[in-house]
Amino acid sequence: MTGEEEIASESVAVIGAGAWGTTLATILADRYRRVTLWVYEPELAEAMLRTRENAVYLPGVQLPSAVLPTRSLQMALRDQPLVVFVVPSHAFRRVLERGRSSLSAEALLVTATKGIEVKTLATMSQLMQELLPPVHHPRVAVLSGPSFAREVAGRRPTAIVAAARDGAVARTCQHALSCETLRIYAGTDPLGVELGGAIKNVIAIAAGVVDGLGLGTNARAALVTRGLAEMTRLGTAMGAQAATFAGLAGMGDLILTCTGDLSRNRGLGRRLAEGAKLPEILAASRAVAEGVNTCRSVVRLAERFGAEMPICHAVHRVLFEGQDPRTAAVQLMTRDLRFEGG
């Protein structure tokens, strides 16, 4: 795209039918006559066609008639001018490899996945740059911000960010996805937007631990503030803009995920603090808590870029090294004292 364009189409594709993907498909049905929604699980796709509801990930929300669930990735992608990817980060590479040959050369490609690939430490837009032909690279955008799926599906007012290297592409995405209750701001720092959306899930696990241990709202406020400092520290070391983390994709999403009762990652942290073990927590839910895998990636990125991230390291110790959550909290509070900017 050489300038801001409108998506001249009555059709759009959403790839991934978790809570957020199903919600985006439902919202986009207000704007587009046909929204093709790719569903990974065969039995879920059949049930959605039959009942017009995603009873697994978004129960109680009826699918508009414009939403067409399908199991065929190729059919979902073919000739689509706008494709929104909302698959879990651990499956993103596999889905993109399967579907890339079906993508239109002119398509605007948007990732709404909040995560970092564990093996390569790549964000989802970086995976797109790696796996897709160069013709697609200028048309990649990212979508993130404070947005619980159920509230968006319920038409509660929500503001998020669409970012691309080219501001005109970001504006095209903004206009293509905004609606009456979903306000989208445009930005030109896709790396910062993606890192904010990923790292906040790790901090939210820590916030859940704080709540589960009954440490109080003072402790939670301190955690969120210092979590924002960690997020900004790593992001700027990797080349993102500091201002991005003070906006919707950073501070906004961090506040929501660390305080909202609908947060899966905060809920996971609470259960850890109450004595549950990670495998049993993960086995009890089909929904993905992205912060678990992202924690592995963030700790490795912090080491690679020399960014000090004590909260993320503490979460890593609790998740993967068997440390007691209360011990981790004590260690954070008794670290060497320093100036706030450090």
pLDDT in tens, 209-253: 999 999 999 999 999 999 999 999 999 999 999 999 999 999 999
- Domains of the chain from N-terminus onward: 11-188 (3.40.50.720), 192-333 (1.10.1040.10)
* Per-residue pLDDT at 286: 80
pLDDT in tens, 156-209: 999 999 999 999 999 999 999 999 999 999 999 999 999 999 999 999 999 999
Asked if 119 is an active-site residue, the reply is no
Q: Is the pLDDT of residue 322 over 90?
A: yes
> What is the pLDDT averaged over residues 276-303?
91
Which residue in 114, 119, 200, 277 is the catalytic one?
A: 200
> What is the pLDDT averaged over residues 63-84?
97
pTM of the complete model? 0.94
Q: What share of the chain in percent tops pLDDT 90?
A: 92
* Per-residue pLDDT at 223: 97
> What is the pLDDT averaged over residues 69-97?
96
Q: Is the pLDDT of residue 67 over 50?
A: yes
In this prediction, residue 136 has a pLDDT band, given cuts at 50, 70 and 90, of very high
CA distance linking residue 7 with residue 160, whole number of Å: 19
* Per-residue pLDDT at 288: 74
Which residue has 């890192």 as its token pair? Answer: 195
Q: Is the pLDDT of residue 287 over 80?
A: no
3 state SS for the chain: CCCCCCCCCCEEEEECCCHHHHHHHHHHCCCCCEEEEECCCHHHHHHHHHHCEECCCEEEEECCCCEEEECCHHHHHCCCCEEEECCCHHHHHHHHHHHHHHCCCCCEEEECCCCECCCCCCEHHHHHHHHCCHHHHHHEEEEECCCCHHHHHCCCCEEEEEECCCHHHHHHHHHHHCCCCEEEEEECCHHHHHHHHHHHHHHHHHHHHHHHCCCCHHHHHHHHHHHHHHHHHHHHHCCCCHHHHHCHHHHHHHHHHHHCCCCHHHHHHHHHHCCCCHHHHHHCCCCCCCHHHHHHHHHHHHHHHCCCCHHHHHHHHHHHCCCCHHHHHHHHHCCCCCCCCC
12 beta partners: 35
* Per-residue pLDDT at 275: 95
Contact assessment for residue 157 and residue 184, using Cβ atoms and an 8 Å cutoff: no
Q: Is the pLDDT of residue 1 over 50?
A: no
> What is the pLDDT averaged over residues 306-317?
97
Calculate the CA 55 to chain-centre distance.
21
* Per-residue pLDDT at 342: 62
pLDDT in tens, 117-135: 999 999 999 999 999 999 9
* Per-residue pLDDT at 284: 87
> What is the pLDDT averaged over residues 58-85?
97
Calculate the CA 231 to chain-centre distance.
15
* Per-residue pLDDT at 3: 45
pLDDT in tens, 17-50: 999 999 999 999 999 999 999 999 999 999 999 9
Q: Is the pLDDT of residue 7 over 70?
A: no
> How confident is the prediction for the chain on average, in pLDDT?
95
Contact assessment for residue 176 and residue 35, using Cβ atoms and an 8 Å cutoff: no
* Per-residue pLDDT at 8: 53
Give the C-alpha distances (Å, rounded to integers) separating 211 from 157, 226, 232, 248. 27, 16, 24, 23
Q: What share of the chain in percent tops pLDDT 70?
A: 97
